[in-house]
Every structure is written in structure tokens, then in C-alpha cells.
Amino acid sequence: RGTDAASGQPLWYYIEYRQPIGFDSFLEGQTTITDGVVFHAVTGDDLSSVQLLDMTPNSVNSDLIDAALIAGNTYEDTEAGITITTEWADSTGASVHVSFAEPMCVPSMPSVAVVSNQVSGVESG
């Protein structure tokens, strides 16, 4: 998603799909998690920098049980030019669509023009 200006480390999103199985059995009936995907932001490979992103705006930010981006919803990071949509999620898996904005600087082939401001010649005579 970009580069951290202070450290130069890459900034990443990672997406987690969770279902009420095994360790996550406590999620039984928590469709605000299991009907979507959970987003995390991390800097480089520093696991102490991992942040859970709450994808349910205008809810209480301390209730992480509704942090998932539910199917049919979109998250847009305008600074990074990334749009992420959870297309569907059910007990068999999830489908997420990620699109990137056009880069602001489009590479092109360089061109060179040589111009001289000196006049050369020979006088006749």
C-alpha cells in the first residue's frame, strides 16, 4: 500500500478469513466477522506494528467483533490508490477484489533534442 516515510519500510495490508472452527469456535453466530474478511495493516515485517482495521464505520471502535469488511462492501484507501471489495464470503471461502488507481506518473520512452545556439560558417571571398 506504500512506503513508510520515516523508516522506508513497505506498508502492507493483509486480509484474514475466519470461520467458527477450532480456535475460532467462539465466533459461532458472529456474522459480522464470518460474513466478510478482516483487515490488518503492518509496516515491513515488524509484527509489533500490526493493527486491526475496523471496517464498520460509525460503530463503537472498541467492539472489534464487527471489524470485518462484510460481503458487498468496499474499503477505499485514497492515499494509496487502492480499492478493496469483499465480493462474497460464506462457510466455504471468500472472494475479494482489489483494484489499483492509475499511477500519477506514467513512464514513457525518453526523447532527446539537440539544439545549438552557435552559428558556424566561413566568409566568402
Tens of pLDDT along the chain (125 residues) come to: 777 777 777 788 888 888 888 998 888 877 777 788 988 888 877 777 788 888 887 777 666 677 889 899 999 988 888 899 999 998 899 999 999 887 666 677 777 777 766 666 666 65
Position 124 in a domain: no
* The total number of structural domains that make up the chain: 1
Nearest in space to 49 (alpha carbons), one of 6, 92, 20: 6
Position 78 in a domain: yes
pTM given for the model: 0.67
Instruction: Please list, in sequence order, all residues whose beta carbon lies within 8 angstroms of the beta carbon of residue 69, skipping any fewer than 6 positions away.
Output: 36, 37, 38, 39, 55, 75, 84, 86
Position 125 in a domain: no
Position 108 in a domain: no
Range of the domain at 63: 2-100
Position 115 in a domain: no
Q: How far apart are CA 78 and CA 76, in angstroms?
A: 6
Position 109 in a domain: no
